[in-house]
Structure 1
């Protein structure tokens, strides 16, 4: 079972620990956040909460059945009924369907809570796991692009008519 919790101030400590624990793991498939991310984490966390309060983004932590933070899934750049999806699942939870379940749940929230009509996502072509998650959750490839200097692919999910609104 996967539970999404909207990002709150009290998630800061667990989220920082999650990011530290998985830093090397994440760097295998996405650019490293850099040391400044970790040294300035408290201020960054407050800034994310302010963005969320303004409605520009919707940040979530992914919690497992034991209540442990195992990932994050976010909707950013919210505008005109659209948002971009981003997610990270920690190494200990990888390969167990957590990312697929989290993306399905955030897609449902996008419709019923945030009233969005479309999500986009981008991944590198060498991130087979992410491409699989996007395909399993109904996203379709809409174009190629460069992502942090690497070949990538853009995806889209039209939420209307996806059976996510009930």
Structure 2
């Protein structure tokens, strides 16, 4: 069981701990955020909240059934009814369907609460778990990309608001 919570100021401590705990795990399949990310985390967190308040992005944390932060799922570059989806689930929660459920829920929110009509996402080719999550959630591969130095794939999904 998981729940999504819209990012808030009081998530900062738990989110920083999550990112530190999973840094090496994430770096296996996506480019590392670098040391500066952690040094400037507080200012970055405030900036993300300001972006969210302006409607340019929608950030969420993924909470497990014990109320622990185990991931994040975000909609960035919200513009003209579309956004880019990004997500990461920590190592301790991986392989339990958490990413699939979190992406499913944010797609629902994107269509209903945020009134978006399309999402895109990218993942590296050496991350088959992420490609599977996107496939299970109705995303279709639409082209190849580079993510840092790694080859990747771009995905797209049309959204329909359910009444």
TM-score w.r.t. structure 2 length? 0.98
Alpha-carbon offset, residue 145 of structure 1: 1.4
Please say if residues 73 and 106 of structure 2, whose CA atoms lie closer than 8 Å, have aligned partners that are also in contact: yes
- 2:96 counterpart residue number: 96
How far off its partner does 1:165 sit?
2.1
The answer for the alignment partner of 2:162 in structure 1 is 165
Structure 2: state its 5+ residue gaps: none
Partner-residue secondary structure (3-state), 2:115: coil
Corresponding residue for 1:137? Answer: 137
Rounded to whole Å, the distance in 1 between the matches of 2:162 and 2:147 is 32
CA distance in 1, matches of 2:34, 2:152: 22
Contact 2:89 2:98 in 1 (8 A): yes
Deviations 1:78-114 (A, max 9, x none): 0000000000000000000000000000000001100
SS at match of 2:126: coil
Moved over 2 A (4+): none
* SS of residue paired to 2:55: coil
| Cα root mean square deviation, aligned | 0.7
CA deviation digits over 1:122-150, x for unaligned, max 9?
Answer: 01111100000000000000111111121
SS of the equivalent of 1:44 reads helix
